[in-house]
Amino acid sequence: MIVDCAIYREGHRSEGPEDFSDALAEARSAGGFVWIGLHEPTEDEFALVSQEFALHPLAVEDALKAHQRPKLEVYDDSLFLVLKPVEYEPNSDTVSSGEIMVFLGDAFVVTVRHSGGAPLKAVRSRLEREPELLGKGPTSVLYAIADAAVDHYLEVATELQNDLEELEAEVFSPDGGGSRHTASRIYNFKRQILEFRRATGPLALPMTRLAGVGTFGMRVPFVEEKAQPFFRDVHDHLTRVNESVEGLDRLVSDILSAHLAQMSVRQNDDMRKISAWAAMAAVPTMLAGIYGMNFTHMPELRWVWSYPAVIAVMAVLEVLLYRLFKRRGWM
């Protein structure tokens, strides 16, 4: 469905004709641009937009089907950027991602949003309150959307870091690390970080191209050259996010390894304790077994003090074994 449609002249909004072709012609004649926002459009709804703005069929197919990785494609009449905004739910430790597709032309911007999160209404409202920035043309919209998405990445990374620190404290607590659900929580956390990385990692190359840095630092069509410093700022923030994601992933792996090592140590401790008690139980069992054979010609059987002596020997041996195992930390 079409969420919003407006013409912007010198950074100020004005309602244009309902016909997209007339709106585009009016925007070009006035030196402005038209911005159309859509949310999960159907093929029929998007057909009119794609025809009026001459959008490339491959980009249109990607915008309709969604489930695309972040990328930047340059076509003859437009630029196509895919972003994956993310949301984090601390209560369930779940990272969910949506998709925003941006078509950028000489005098138009078409945004397509999938999933319920990452609304563009806040971005549009912020730009409309900053006519100086909005007056820079369609490039300002592309920058604002990318900047909002990457800034939210930083917030999600911070929330993940805080929750991971809590999980780390739980794992290394005296009794928390032994929970049967701890390993599954750690593994689930690693899956969420992987979902986060799918959104942030592939976006590095498109931001590099838009910022005009590195090997791919050439000017991108339909993007003003003066906007490159702004995209460099977004690129720097994205680099910080990717570094944070890498650090989180390594930390989760280390926590999982530490948890498994703790479980192994606990199992070894349990086995030592069981072995110690088994050894202590074996001594009286052995003596009782010897004197329980009831042979006629056995020494000590007819002694008056045989029974107390055997009990005393058992007790002494048990005490000696207990002190030995205790000194070695087996009990």
pLDDT of residue 29: 82
| DSSP letters for 223-286 | S-GGGHHHHHHHHHHHHHHHHHHHHHHHHHHHHHHHHHHHHHHHHHHHHHHHHHHHHHHHHHHH
d(CA 156, CA 103): 26
Residues in the chain where the model's pLDDT stays below 50: none
Q: How far apart are CA 137 and CA 35, in angstroms?
A: 10
The pLDDT of residue 207: 92
| pLDDT for position 288 | 76
Residue 275's pLDDT is: 77
Q: Which residues of 62-94 are buried (b: 16+ CB within 10 A; e: fewer)?
A: bbbeeebebebeebeebbbbbbbbbebeeeebe
What pLDDT is recorded for position 48? 84
